[in-house]
Amino acid sequence: MTTKPIIPLVPESPVPAAVSPRRLPPNGKKFFIWTMGCQMNEADSQKVAAMLQEVGYEKATSEEDADIVVLNSCVVRQAAEDKVAGRLDSLARLKRQKPEMPLVLTGCMVTRQQEKLKQRFPHVDLFFNPSDFGKLVEVVPELEELDDDLDQLPHYYQPQLTGNKAGISAFVPIIYGCNFVCSYCIVPYRRGKETSRPFKDIVTEVERLVDNGVREVTLLGQTVNAYGHDLEEKTSLAHLMEAVNNVKGLDRLRFLTSHPKYMGDDIIHAIRDLDTACEHMNLPVQAGDNEVLRRMRRTYTRDLWMERIAYTREQIPGVTVATDIIVGFPGETDEQFQQTYDMLEQTECDKVHLAMYSPRPGTLSARWEDDIPHEEKYRRHRELEKLQERLQTEINDRRLGDTYEVLVESKQRGRWTGRTRGNTLVHFDDERDLTGKLVDVEITKTSPWFLMGRAVGNPS
């Protein structure tokens, strides 16, 4: 089972939908977008694709085949930044062969260091900050046609190019940046302070998405549950969820990524009370020891996180829970690691995203000694992997014989694949075309990572 919804950028089959006409007819040109990193970047890439498509571009299968190439970069780890740099270097040759092809770099690598990047990668035609979509007009003049209503253009490919999950589920960024300063994280330095999008724009975007056949929406932000605090007219994620829930035709509503400190009762009640809100809580904790949490500058204690999970479970029976953990943070002792182990064993999460600590230059913790040897980090990572495998085996075994509503995303290796409202991956066989359908599936087989079953009842 995995909790991270992935929208493929190269979808497989079209989804019938109310397609809005393109602004300009096909112009024979093609775009290629390469994306690294989080769902925010995926959403931005989808918006760029939607913009280009609106003015007549089509998707290319490779950089060589494209008339414009956009790289959307991630810097969350040094390895990710190195990978983007490597890709940019390798594109220099293509750029020499096709000097007229605009090469564009966006994403977290760009922020606050454009001058440095211009010197290092002189073959790049345009650098633009995450979500600063208006800049693209500098290399795609046709986009002037869209200037007035860029904000209204959904963050996803139009259905004629999408299909599969991309036409069924969509990411909608609602807040950019982060006001926290976790000692290991580069995001606040690159994405800046929290900036919420206007309430009305988000609801309008969801309406447009639903009009175009989208059934599931995931509201996105680095600290998504901080939404609205910075707006002149103060509002909240819970209010926004209520408004989005009222969009006629929407079936499912999710949100990512939450900070424990902002996980108020109002949001938990919204999950409990709103028809479309999926019974799933993704609440990163990062460590189970208070001293490690303090050095991580997470601003909460293990008890607060555990209390929020316990309250969510009390209010929403059957809710699934996911979290994130970093092992091997500087100075993490065996006892402190054991605290994390015990907390996870006690909490029984449905899914844990595990990471081994690595210092990120420019952050506070990078100035401290990275004193846990790699082998020890790996051992702790394995310990938690084994723990989760055991727990997820037990959790999923209890699901045998139950029936879940599954939103079908795609057919992979001859099998339908989709997710429950709790975000559990389900595979099943069926002769019918079920892409984008809600299907009740009775679970006939389980594994720690996914469920298998058979369709019962009529798809909708």
Contact residues: ligand SF4, CB under 6 A: 178, 180-182, 185, 187-188, 222-223, 259
Q: Which is nearer to ligand SF4, 363 or 424 (CB)?
A: 363
Q: CB of 262: closest distance to ligand SF4 in angstroms? A: 10
Q: CB of 223: closest distance to ligand SF4 in angstroms? A: 5
Q: CB of 341: closest distance to ligand SF4 in angstroms? A: 21
Q: CB of 195: closest distance to ligand SF4 in angstroms? A: 13
Dihedrals phi, psi of 8, to nearest 5 degrees: -65, 140
Q: Which is nearer to ligand SF4, 159 or 177 (CB)?
A: 177
Q: CB of 39: closest distance to ligand SF4 in angstroms? A: 13
Q: Which is nearer to ligand SF4, 222 or 365 (CB)?
A: 222
Q: Which is nearer to ligand SF4, 215 or 259 (CB)?
A: 259
SS (H, E, C) the chain: CCCCCCCCCCCCCCCCCCCCCCCCCCCCCEEEEEECCCHHHHHHHHHHHHHHHHCCCEECCCCCCCCEEEEEECCCCHHHHHHHHHHHHHHHHHHHHCCCCCEEEEECCCCCCHHHHHHHCCCCCEECCCCCHHHHHHCCHHHHHHHHHHHHCCCCCCCCCCCHHHHHEEEEEEEECCCCCCCCCCHHHHHCCCEECCHHHHHHHHHHHHHCCCCEEEEEECCHHHCCCCCCCCCCHHHHHHHHHCCCCCCEEEEECCCHHHCCHHHHHHHHHCCCECCEEECCCECCCHHHHHHCCCCCCHHHHHHHHHHHHHHCCCCEEEEEEEECCCCCCHHHHHHHHHHHHHHCCCEEEEEECCCCCCCCHHHCCCCCCHHHHHHHHHHHHHHHHHHHHHHHHCCCCCEEEEEEEEEECCEEEEECCCCCEEEEECCCCCCCCEEEEEEEEECCCCEEEEEECCCC
Q: CB of 185: closest distance to ligand SF4 in angstroms? A: 3
Q: CB of 411: closest distance to ligand SF4 in angstroms? A: 35
Q: How far apart are CA 35 and CA 43, in angstroms?
A: 10
Q: CB of 298: closest distance to ligand SF4 in angstroms? A: 7
Q: Which is nearer to ligand SF4, 155 or 259 (CB)?
A: 259
Q: How far apart are CA 392 and CA 411, in angstroms?
A: 24
Q: Which is nearer to ligand SF4, 189 or 378 (CB)?
A: 189
Q: Which is nearer to ligand SF4, 222 or 236 (CB)?
A: 222
Q: Which is nearer to ligand SF4, 85 or 355 (CB)?
A: 355
Q: CB of 404: closest distance to ligand SF4 in angstroms? A: 31
Q: Which is nearer to ligand SF4, 157 or 329 (CB)?
A: 329
